[in-house]
Structures are given as structure tokens and as C-alpha cells.
Amino acid sequence: MYFKQFYLDCLAHASYLIGSQGEAVVVDPQRDVDQYLSEARANGLKIKYVIETHLHADFVSGHRELAALTGAEIVFGEKAGATFPHRAVSEGDEITIGKVILRVMETPGHTPESISVLVIDTEVSPQPQKVLTGDTLFIGDVGRPDLAAAKGYTPQTMAGMMYDSLHHKLLHLSDEVEVYPAHGAGSMCGRNISKQTSSTIGEQKLFNYALKPMSKDEFIRLMTSELPSAPAYFSEDAEINREGAAPLTALPKPAALAPLEVTELISHGYVVLDVRSAADFGAAHVPGSINIGLGGQFAIWAASLISLHNPIVIVADLEAKVDEALTRLARVGIESVQGYLGGGMDAWREAGLEVATVTQITVDQLNDLMASQTDLQVLDVRRPPEYASGHVPGAIAEPLSNLKERISVLEIEPSKLTAVICAGGYRSSAATSILQQHGFVELLNVTGGTSAWIDAGYPVET
């Protein structure tokens, strides 16, 4: 059996290519599918099936494009209700490629249609050696149960389904069975996902907090308490996947725009998305632009902070970076890029247009300011568990994902000096750009973030 995991850091997403005797299946593909085609060709494999473990909400899948290019059949759990030709499978159904059997387990809980796929290499054993768990069982966590409200399911109902899927099915597998989920650390489909991208059933029984012995009622309470808000784009991406996305090649290429053309578009409500680093953004940027750097989890934050349908103008330092941004935006369903600033910020300056800045400071400078500036405000934009585990003394907490909606109720003054901090300086730069849009003038982005603060030995509150 040939088996390969493809891991996409930007989306914390794992997909798989499984092959045997010249035949192959791809499981949970990302939207741009060239890597699967190349890998299959290199190993003499023909892709016969594309399996989706569920209707993904956090990214747009390439299942339809991959099927169109290879003639493969698309496979979904029967409750998915996909609107294009596909094979609907249910408990116990099997797909065979060469000497490998892929057996379906219905494992609802994250979504009603979720399935897990048992992988059986018959040349090794008639028993499963691996299980692809989609978003049902992660490494160190399980899928969040609150994404099916639009389908008439409460989080409590879905959490009950999750308990049954785990305790009556997945945990009955042998401890040696290898676990391969669809996501890793950083995905918003779970709360405490490990940085590891695979494990075993036995290891998860020992170390996964959600699999500790507890009653079904206790599990439901645990899974439905203190859930972070689901990004608005999740429901839209799930529907795109139900219908199947257009091929990436069908998307129009955005035009290079002169600075004055960009100012005109800004006046009509276009979003200026600056994809450069925090340092470059801080040195000079288009006033009112939002900074989401290509160096981090770009696509997740772009879709969380910008409407999928808002027209966008990109600012980058190289045209190749514009192309990279387009692909990564399309992976989460953003297809509304209308153009990019030709010549970048150099062209903007040469046109004599206003430039905005954000001062970058180190944690040493932050420590000095905290001692000398009594009215300094420190805003921590990490997620609640990160903040709770240790933060700069006196820092006000507000996750980046909620910042735009909650600025008006935060206990921070737009007129005061405000230092913004996250884990390393990426999310905090995005936050400073949002705060600038809302009238904050004296902003500082803390480079190195809380990690550098702790490493420097400065005091920490928990």
C-alpha cells in the first residue's frame, strides 16, 4: 500500500493519497489539486475516488476539480446532501483500490454527515491498520459540535452524537490502529488540537482530554461549554463544498492598479488587504488597510476578518506574492480580489499619497514603557486559553476574531497609547490595522509577542 499525508500549515489541514496496484484515492483534498496529480503520476497511480469525510466548513475542497481532471468518483456520507453526482455511502460500505479496502464508519458529531474511513491493507492483515477520522477525532481533541445549528441540530445533540461515535465505534478499534485526522494545531474546528499530525487509538485513550472516562452527560457539558465563536465564513464554505467549487483556472486574474485607481476603489468600499510582514506594514502602509501577512495562517484570518464577498485590492511587495495570496484566499472561498497595487508601496509614495505607520517595539521596550507610562494600555488578542495560560500583567484580553465587533465595548481609549500583543507579533499586527480603522492613533505592535516576554523573564499573570 502507498500512503501519504499532505499537510498544509496555512490551514492546519491534512489530506491523503492512498494507492495500491495502480489505483488510488484522495481523501479530503485542498482546493488546489496539482500536488495529488503529480504524486499519483510519480507513483504510477490513477486516482479513481475522491472521498470527503464531511462538508468542510473551514476551507473549500477541490473534489469537483480533481474528479473532472481524473474521472474519479466523488464519495460523501449519505447525509451530506451534495448537489452534484457522487456516491453516497453509509455504515459498512466499502471501496476497493488494488488490495486495499476502505471501509466506511458513520461518525456524526462534528457534523451529521461525518464519516471515518478504515484503511485495510489486505496484504498485511484483514484488520484495519489506519483510520482517517476527518474532524471527528483529532490528535489531542475532538471536533467542535456547534457547526450544525443551521441544519436544525443543537450543540448538545451533536455532542451526544459525538460521544456515541467515539465510545461505540472509534474507541472499539485496536490500540495499534493509526489515527489520521483532517486537521492539526491552529484549526478552528477544535479547541485543543495537538501539533502532532498522527497518533494511535491507544495513545489517544491515554492523552486526549475528551476521551477520559466520563458519562455522556459530562461529555456533552464539556464539549458545549466555553466554545469560541465560529467564524461567519464556516457556513458559507460548507455550502460551497455541498455544491462543488469552480476550478481555480476559471478565476479571473486581477489587474495591476495605479495608486489613484486604488484610492477611488477605497472610496467605494473596497478592502485593501496588505499581505506583507508586520515590519513592512508598520513602516508604511495604505491608510485604512488591513494587515494579514502571508507568513502566518493567512487564509484562516483573511476569511475570519473579511467577508467572502467584499471586493479586495491586494498590497504586496512582489507580484508573485499577489499570485500566492490569490491561491490561498481561494482555498477559503474568497474570490473577490479585483486588483492589486501596481508597484506596491513605492508607487504609492511616489504618487505623493498619505502613508500610515505602526511603531514596532520589543518586549524590552514594552517593559520600560509599562514602568514609565502610567496610562499605557496593553491589549492581548490571543485566544482565551492562550491568555489564561499566561499574559503580560494588566493586559486586556480580546481575541482578534472578535475585535472588530467589540471595539466599542472594550475598556480601552482610542486616544491613549496602546500596545498590542499576541503570541509572536502576527495577529497583533492585524489587530493594530483594525484599531487604526477605528480611530486609534498611538499604536505599538509588540514584536516577538508573549513568547518573547516570557523568554525574557518578565512577570506573567495567569
The reply to whether 345 and 447 lie within a common domain is no
In a domain, residue 462? The reply is: no
Domain of 370 in residue numbering reads as: 359-455
Domain count across the chain:
3
The span from the first CA to the last CA of the chain, in angstroms, equals 48
In the prediction, which pLDDT does 7 show? 97
In the prediction, which pLDDT does 436 show? 98
The reply to whether 255 and 386 lie within a common domain is no
In a domain, residue 173? The reply is: yes
Read off the pTM: 0.93
Of 188, 219, 243, which residue is a domain's last? 243
Q: Which amino acid would we find at residue 69?
A: L
| CB distance 461 to 437 below 8 Å | no
CATH of the domain at 109: 3.60.15.10
Closest C-alpha among 340, 348, 241, 203 to residue 287:
348
What whole-number distance in Å separates Cα of residue 8 and Cα of residue 28? 12
The reply to whether 92 and 110 lie within a common domain is yes
Strand pairing class (377-380; 396-397)? parallel
Burial class of residue 176 (count of CB atoms within 10 Å of its CB; 0-12, 13-18, 19+):
exposed
Residue 20 has φ and ψ, to the nearest 5°, of -165, 130
| CB distance 418 to 412 below 8 Å | yes
Of 327, 350, 373, which residue is a domain's last? 350
Pure H helices in 216-276: 216-224, 233-243, 259-267
In a domain, residue 84? The reply is: yes
Check residue 92 and give left, alpha or beta (phi > 0: left; psi -120 to 50: alpha).
left
The reply to whether 56 and 184 lie within a common domain is yes
Strand pairing class (115-121; 100-106)? antiparallel
What whole-number distance in Å separates Cα of residue 133 and Cα of residue 179? 7
Q: Can you say how many angstroms the Cα of residue 152 is from the centroid of all Cα atoms in its chain?
A: 25
The reply to whether 344 and 364 lie within a common domain is no
What whole-number distance in Å separates Cα of residue 415 and Cα of residue 298? 30
In a domain, residue 460? The reply is: no
The reply to whether 255 and 401 lie within a common domain is no
Q: What is the mean pLDDT of the chain?
A: 96
In the prediction, which pLDDT does 150 show? 66
The reply to whether 239 and 255 lie within a common domain is no
In the prediction, which pLDDT does 412 show? 94
In the prediction, which pLDDT does 189 show? 87
H/E stretch holding 5 reads strand 2-8
CATH of the domain at 256: 3.40.250.10
In the prediction, which pLDDT does 230 show? 85
The reply to whether 397 and 328 lie within a common domain is no
The reply to whether 263 and 170 lie within a common domain is no
For the segment 21-54, what is each residue's pLDDT rounded down to a tens digit? 999 999 999 999 999 999 999 999 999 999 999 9
In a domain, residue 192? The reply is: yes
For the segment 323-358, what is each residue's pLDDT rounded down to a tens digit? 999 999 999 999 999 999 999 999 999 999 999 999
Q: How many helices (H) and strands (E) does the chain have?
A: 16, 22
The reply to whether 222 and 260 lie within a common domain is no
In the prediction, which pLDDT does 335 show? 96
Closest C-alpha among 384, 380, 383, 395 to residue 449:
380
Length of the chain as a residue count: 462
The reply to whether 312 and 174 lie within a common domain is no
Closest C-alpha among 140, 132, 138 to residue 104:
132
Strand pairing class (178-181; 130-134)? parallel
Give 10-residue mean pLDDT values along the chain (462 residues): 96 97 98 98 98 97 97 97 96 98 98 97 98 98 88 93 98 98 91 93 97 97 89 93 93 95 97 98 98 94 95 96 97 97 97 98 98 94 93 97 93 96 97 97 97 97 94
The reply to whether 38 and 159 lie within a common domain is yes
Lookup: cell for 416: 491613549
In the prediction, which pLDDT does 192 show? 81
Closest C-alpha among 92, 77, 65 to residue 136:
77
Of 203, 226, 243, which residue is a domain's last? 243
